[in-house]
Amino acid sequence: MEKRAFAKDVCIVDSISKSIAETIKKRAASTALATYTFFWCSYHWQGIFVTFFVKEELIYKKFNLLKNEYVNNYFFGLHGWNDWGFYLGFILPAIFTYIFIWWIPKIILLSAYKQEQRYKVDKRIIRNEEERRLQINEEHLATQETKTVEAKIEASEIKNKASEIDPTILWEQDYIKLNNNKKNYLKDILECIYKHRGYIEVGSEYVGGYPMFELNPNSLKFADSLNLIEIVDKGNRIALTDKGKYFAKKYEGVI
C-alpha cells in the first residue's frame, strides 16, 4: 500500500511539473509570435496600410494594377523569390524579435535591475552605518553622563569625608562663593548678633510705631539655608553656629 501511495504521489508531482513546463513553453512561444508579428507589421506597414486603407481604383488608375498585384509586387512578393528583399522582410523581424526577447532583457533590463538593487543595498548600508554612528554617539553621551554622575558622587563623598576630618575646608569653599549681595546679608546677620544680641526685631523708640531694628527676611533665609544660624527663643532670636562663627571670623567689613 505504501509503495502504491508513493508511486501515486510521484505521478502527481511529475504531472504538475509537466503542466508547468508546458505552460511556460506556450507563453514563451506566444510571446515570441506576438513580438515577431509586431516587428513584421512594422516592417511592412506601408503594404498593410495600402491593403486596408487605399482604394483599388486609385491604384489601378496610377499603376494599372489591381490592389493585390500592386501589394504583392511592391511590398510582399517584390520581384520574385530570387529578390533578397523578399527574404529580408522575414529575417529582419526575426532578428528584432530575438534582440527584443533575449538580448534587451539580458543586457539592458537585467543590468538596470542589478544597478537598482545595488542602489537599494548601498542605501541600506549607508542607513545602517548612520544608525550605528548614532548608536555609538548615544552610548558615548551615556558614558559621559555616567562619568559625570560618578564624578559628582565621588566629589560629594570626598567633601563628606573632608567635612568629617576638618569641616572648615567646606566652610571656606562656601565663603569664597559669596557675592557682594550675599555678603550684605551676612553683614545684616552679624549686626543682629553683635549689636542687638541676636534679636530679630528690636522694640520701637520712635513716633509712628516702626521698630528700631528688624532683620531683613532675605538675610534670615540666607543664613538659615547655609546653616550659619540657629533660630532660638521661640523664633525671636538667632544664634551663630560654628559655621556662622567661622564666617564671622572671615568677614572683613564694618558692621
- Helix (H), strand (E), coil (C) string for the chain: CHHHHHHHHHHHHHHHHHHHHHHHHHHHHHHHHHHHHHHHHHHCHHHHHHHHHCCHHHHHHHHCCCHHHHHHHHHHCCCCCCCHHHHHHHHHHHHHHHHHHHHHHHHHHHHHHHHHHHHHHHHHHHHHHHHHHHHHHHHHHHHHHHHHHHHHHHHHHHHHHHHHHCCHHHHHHHHHCCCHHHHHHHHHHHHHHHHCCCECEECCCCCCCCCCEECCHHHHHHHHHCCCEEEEHHHCEEEECHHHHHHHHHCCCCC
Quote the pLDDT of residue 231. Answer: 92
Quote the pLDDT of residue 79. Answer: 55
Q: Are residues 172 and 109 in the same domain?
A: no
CATH number of the domain residue 197 falls in: 1.10.10
Q: Are residues 93 and 19 in the same domain?
A: yes
Quote the pLDDT of residue 242. Answer: 92
Is 246 domain-assigned?
A: yes
Is 18 domain-assigned?
A: yes
Is 40 domain-assigned?
A: yes
Burial (CB < 10 A; 0-12, 13-18, 19+), residue 186, is buried
Q: Are residues 176 and 80 in the same domain?
A: no
Other Cβ atoms closer than 10 A to 150: 10
Quote the pLDDT of residue 244. Answer: 92
* Amino acid type, 111: S
Using the 3D structure, point to which of 74, 95, 114 is the last residue of a domain.
114
Query: For residues 93 and 36, is the Cβ–Cβ distance under 8 A?
Result: yes
Quote the pLDDT of residue 239. Answer: 94
Other Cβ atoms closer than 10 A to 71: 20
φ, ψ at 239 (rounded to 5°): -135, 145
What's the residue count for the chain?
A: 255
Tens of each residue's pLDDT in the chain, 255 residues:
444 443 444 444 455 545 544 544 455 567 788 888 888 888 888 888 888 888 888 888 887 888 777 777 777 765 555 567 677 878 888 888 888 888 877 777 777 788 888 888 888 988 888 888 888 888 888 888 877 777 777 776 676 676 667 788 888 888 988 888 898 999 999 999 999 899 998 876 554 667 788 899 999 999 999 999 999 988 899 999 999 999 999 998 787
Domain count, the chain: 2
Quote the pLDDT of residue 6. Answer: 38
Quote the pLDDT of residue 19. Answer: 52
Quote the pLDDT of residue 15. Answer: 59
Q: Are residues 103 and 36 in the same domain?
A: yes
Quote the pLDDT of residue 36. Answer: 86
Domain that holds residue 178: 168-250
